[in-house]
Structure 1
């Protein structure tokens, strides 16, 4: 498992190794894969901004709750960014090898995490969990 993970991470930083796999796919598909990757990075940046905003601007909430929500959003950003590059590499390899594109559960988990964070903030504000 560790070896497979290390091999995947090495592939992220090795364009020559990626290029040596299979044949070069149609550039339109590679660029579409890259645009999807960039969209996931924008989502990660939005989660970072959300975490910082919760910590800085929801000062009426109790500090432990505020920090917990902010850390939850920041953790979501880390997962989203790492998963984005992993999914980009897996899709690029699949296209080069003529395989089916890999599926991911990340959109579902991201939706669940965002919903949980929104519900916790909404309940906290609604119930007046503040100083």
Structure 2
């Protein structure tokens, strides 16, 4: 079933349109990743704004910048994942492994440990 309207990248013109429920679920997942990135941005801003008396200025600034950079990378990876899942659904292939979830877990875990050590000092 081919849909009309609008420009589409080649990868999203291959195969057949999946059930709209699956496409919309994929879009909701993408938006959840973007929402997570916004939460990381909020955490970076809060850290820089409110942790002045708790964490040294240098470490606070570095950690906030790392979190901001990570949020940007997470957003790009979310778009790439959305695209890969949509292509897989259109062509009947297996869905890709959500490896960005591992990246998120490691990055936030490391950031949490660094912040906990800084606060404990």
Query: After TM superposition, is the score higher than 0.5?
Result: yes
TM, length-normalised to structure 1:
0.82
Q: Which residue matches 1:37?
A: 30
Residue 104 (structure 1) shift:
2.6
Question: Which of 26, 48, 52 matches 1:59?
Answer: 52
Matched, 1:75 2:69: yes
Q: Which residue matches 1:110?
A: 104
Secondary structure of the corresponding residue to residue 15 of structure 1 = coil
Q: 1:16 to 1:74 in 2, by over 3 A?
A: closer
Q: 1:16 to 1:86 in 2, by over 3 A?
A: closer
Moved beyond 6 Å, runs of 4+:
none
Unaligned runs of 5+ in 2: 1-6
Question: Which of 83, 90, 96 matches 1:96?
Answer: 90
Matched, 1:24 2:17: yes
Matched, 1:123 2:117: yes
Q: Distance in 2 between matches of 1:33 and 1:18?
A: 15
Instruction: Tell me how large the CA RMSD over aligned residues is.
Output: 1.3
Q: Distance in 1 between matches of 2:22 and 2:46?
A: 36
Task: Give the length in aligned residue pairs.
Answer: 114
Residue 19 (structure 1) shift:
4.2
